[in-house]
């Protein structure tokens, strides 16, 4: 029994890297998939910093069969001489001391993407084992650690003909729920880095499967925008600028395409600033001003007509990358650039260069302004449509669509909306649900493909109006997760081709017009079972072919009946509840924004006008498809 005494002996001192192992999420976000891959990116960022400083030209990442990873670069090699204060080799300090690194003053690195010098030591702390090899001064040095503690001191193991650093580590299964490395996730980030650091070759190898990718883009950001617009028709050759202002490097590439969506990616020192920031604000302001000023000077725009930011960004794909000494990151996920002076620098530099580009390319300028004027007319039509729907109490009131079977709870945090394919499945879902917190919205047929439609056309679509009305969060710029009536919006479609198509159409709608709901973590996909296996009185629901195979091995096949579900309508209310809707037994997949650039590109490939990129994508990924309903 405690007597309430609180003294010095109650204060626990966590020595070395013990604090990281005790509270890993404080350093890497979580101990799930994102945190696991964050370890790799920490080391890759350090290699990228060597490339940005002009010392490394090749970076190699290898996933080994035992899920250990090697990150190697041909930079200068981590220093191995004795640290003046700590009296141990510098490489040991880097891997065993928090907040130790070469990025705290500007001598070793003018700019860097690696965050706060924490990276290498955190990776070491959360690894079952880590081996660092350094090539410099004609020698190969090696030091090894186990769970953050030094296992073998620094030693010379051979002669080196070049310089560089090679780190091999195995994420600790005591820390991470799963230690399986996702090749695709690494591939997209490494490709992105190769676009951003245009003089660097990045190689990714997977010894588990034999997969290998090599990324090297001499065109840098120009190739980046072309890659993003692979499935869209570009209206002109990309605009590109690179300049140094007040010791800040500003690089921007952009092109307009025939779509109705904007794709803006921003980076600071290679870090993807998902939440934007001052560099994005400066770019947007300069783009709108340049097009308005040029349009009025040339008489394309009337004096009393001004284009808005939304008008001039329709069909725009742009990448903005700034490199600066002292980046300040803000926002919910620390991915918003906060340095105030950057806005003015980007705004003036981009306005100057882009206005000159318009002046020198009058045909392209005319194409861009024609597109923006068309967008302005559509925006006006959308505004009128929105006002009309508001007058009808459709988007902003207590009036809800007749199809919606609402829940009784008025607490959004505990409420769920199932968007269900088909009337019969909707009927089963209504009967089987828990009315207290589960609402059902049945859909009739396929909704409009918003990838090929302007905002005003989407607003006029009945099925889309019904979905928007039911959720209550608004559409486009007005979409606010805080106003959503449900914090779990669950897409529930059949496990066949049509069901997959409807699911993709709904995801396209959320991604293009209601993206804040995805960013808030409100969008989910239900996973109905594929099979029902029955033997005697025993019934088992299975969700994959692998599960079916394992179950049949356990039961033997005598007296076993197997039912393959193709549609939700084949299940009665009780079965649908038990397998797909009951929070105790169901499996939900949360839709996240792991890689906005790749998501944007894939939506345009799968749902856009161009057939060839879609055919190529299907051919390349056909072997990965599962549960195909032919």
Where in the sequence numbering do the catalytic residues fall?
421, 494, 496, 498
Q: Which one-letter DSSP state was computed for residue 240?
A: E
* DSSP character string of 490-552: EEE--SSHHHHHHHHHHHHHHHHH-HHHHHTT-EEEE---SEEEEETTEEEEE-SHHHHHHHH
Task: Please name the residue that has the structure tokens 């690194």.
Answer: 101
* DSSP character string of 18-58: HHHHHSTHHHHS-SSHHHHHHHHHHHHHHHHHHHHTTS--E
What are the angstrom distances between the C-alpha of 203 and each of 61, 147, 189, 612? 6, 28, 12, 27
For residues 31 and 423, what is the distance between their CA atoms, to the nearest angstrom?
41
Task: Please name the residue that has the structure tokens 């809800």.
Answer: 400
CB 112 within 8 A of CB 123: no
Q: Which two tokens stand for residue 615?
A: 């055919």
For residues 305 and 296, what is the distance between their CA atoms, to the nearest angstrom?
9
Helix 462-471 × helix 497-513 angle, to 10°: 60
For residues 613 and 313, what is the distance between their CA atoms, to the nearest angstrom?
24
For residues 445 and 465, what is the distance between their CA atoms, to the nearest angstrom?
14
Q: Where are the alpha helices (DSSP H) in 107-244?
A: 119-125, 183-196, 221-228
Nearest to 183 by CA among 152, 216, 208, 214: 208
SS3 of 569-595: HHCCHHHHHHHHHCCCCCCEEECCCCC
Q: Which two tokens stand for residue 85?
A: 């204060």
Exposed e or buried b per residue across 84-121, where buried means at least 16 C-beta atoms within 10 angstroms of its C-beta: eeeebbbbbbbbbbbebbbbeeeeebebbbbbebbbbb
Task: Please name the residue that has the structure tokens 């588990």.
Answer: 208
Query: Could you give the 3-state DSSP secondary structure of residue 455?
Result: helix
For residues 300 and 370, what is the distance between their CA atoms, to the nearest angstrom?
9
């Amino acid at each position: 029994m405690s007597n309430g005494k609180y003294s010095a002996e109650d204060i626990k001192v966590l020595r070395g890297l013990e604090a990281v192992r005790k509270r890993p999420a404080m350093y890497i976000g979580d101990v799930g998939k994102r945190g696991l891959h964050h370890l790799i990116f920490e080391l890759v960022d350090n290699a990228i910093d060597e490339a940005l400083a002009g010392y490394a030209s090749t970076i190699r990442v290898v996933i080994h069969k035992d899920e250990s990873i090697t990150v190697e670069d041909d930079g200068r090699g981590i220093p191995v001489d004795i640290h003046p204060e700590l009296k141990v080799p510098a490489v040991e300090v880097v891997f065993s001391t928090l907040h130790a690194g070469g990025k705290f003053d500007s001598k070793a690195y003018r700019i860097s993407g690696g965050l706060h010098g924490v990276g290498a030591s955190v990776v070491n702390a959360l690894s079952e084992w880590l081996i660092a090899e350094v090539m410099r001064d004609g020698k190969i040095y090696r030091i090894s650690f186990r769970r953050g503690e030094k296992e073998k001191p620094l030693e010379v193991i051979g002669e080196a003909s070049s310089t560089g650093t090679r780190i091999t580590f195995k994420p600790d299964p005591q820390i991470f729920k799963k230690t399986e490395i996702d090749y695709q996730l690494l591939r997209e980030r490494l490709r992105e880095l190769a676009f951003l650091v245009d003089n660097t070759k990045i190689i990714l190898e997977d010894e588990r499967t034999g997969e290998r990718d090599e990324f090297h883009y001499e065109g840098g950001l120009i190739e980046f925008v072309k890659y993003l617009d692979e499935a869209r028709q570009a209206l002109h050759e990309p605009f590109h600028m690179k300049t140094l202002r007040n010791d800040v490097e500003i690089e921007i590439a952009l092109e307009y395409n025939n779509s109705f969506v904007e794709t803006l990616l921003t980076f600071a020192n290679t870090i993807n600033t998902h939440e934007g920031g001052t560099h994005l604000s400066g770019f947007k302001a300069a783009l709108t001003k340049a097009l308005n000023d040029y349009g009025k000077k040339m008489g394309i725009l009337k004096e009393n007509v001004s284009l808005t930011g939304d008008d001039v960004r329709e069909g725009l794909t742009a990448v903005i990358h700034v490199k600066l000494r002292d980046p300040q990151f803000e926002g919910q996920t620390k991915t918003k650039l906060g340095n105030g002076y950057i806005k003015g620098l980007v705004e003036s530099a981009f306005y100057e260069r882009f206005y000159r580009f318009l002046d020198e390319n009058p045909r392209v300028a005319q194409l861009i302004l024609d597109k923006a004027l068309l967008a302005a007319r559509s925006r006006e039509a959308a505004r009128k449509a929105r006002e009309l729907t508001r007058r009808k109490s459709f988007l902003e009131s207590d009036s809800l669509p007749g199809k919606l079977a609402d829940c009784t709870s008025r607490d959004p945090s505990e409420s769920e909306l199932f968007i269900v394919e088909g009337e019969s499945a909707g009927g089963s879902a209504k009967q089987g649900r828990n009315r207290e917190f589960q609402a059902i919205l049945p859909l009739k047929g396929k909704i409009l493909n918003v990838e090929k439609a302007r905002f005003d056309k989407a607003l006029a679509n009945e099925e889309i109006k019904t979905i928007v009305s039911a959720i209550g969060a608004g559409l486009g710029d007005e979409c606010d997760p805080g106003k959503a009536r449900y914090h779990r919006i669950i897409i529930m479609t059949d496990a066949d081709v049509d069901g997959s198509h409807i699911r993709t159409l709904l995801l396209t709608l959320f991604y293009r017009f209601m993206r804040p709901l995805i960013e808030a973590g409100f969008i989910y996909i239900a996973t109905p079972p594929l099979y029902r296996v029955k033997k005697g009185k025993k019934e088992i629901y299975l969700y994959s072919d692998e599960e079916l195979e394992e179950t049949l091995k356990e039961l033997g096949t005598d007296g076993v009946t197997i039912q393959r579900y193709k549609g939700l309508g084949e299940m009665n209310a009780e079965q649908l509840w038990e397998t797909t809707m009951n929070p105790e037994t169901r499996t939900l997949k949360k839709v996240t924004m792991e890689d906005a650039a790749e998501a944007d590109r894939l939506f345009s490939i799968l749902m856009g006008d161009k057939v060839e990129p879609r055919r190529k994508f299907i051919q390349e990924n056909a072997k990965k498809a599962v549960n195909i309903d032919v």
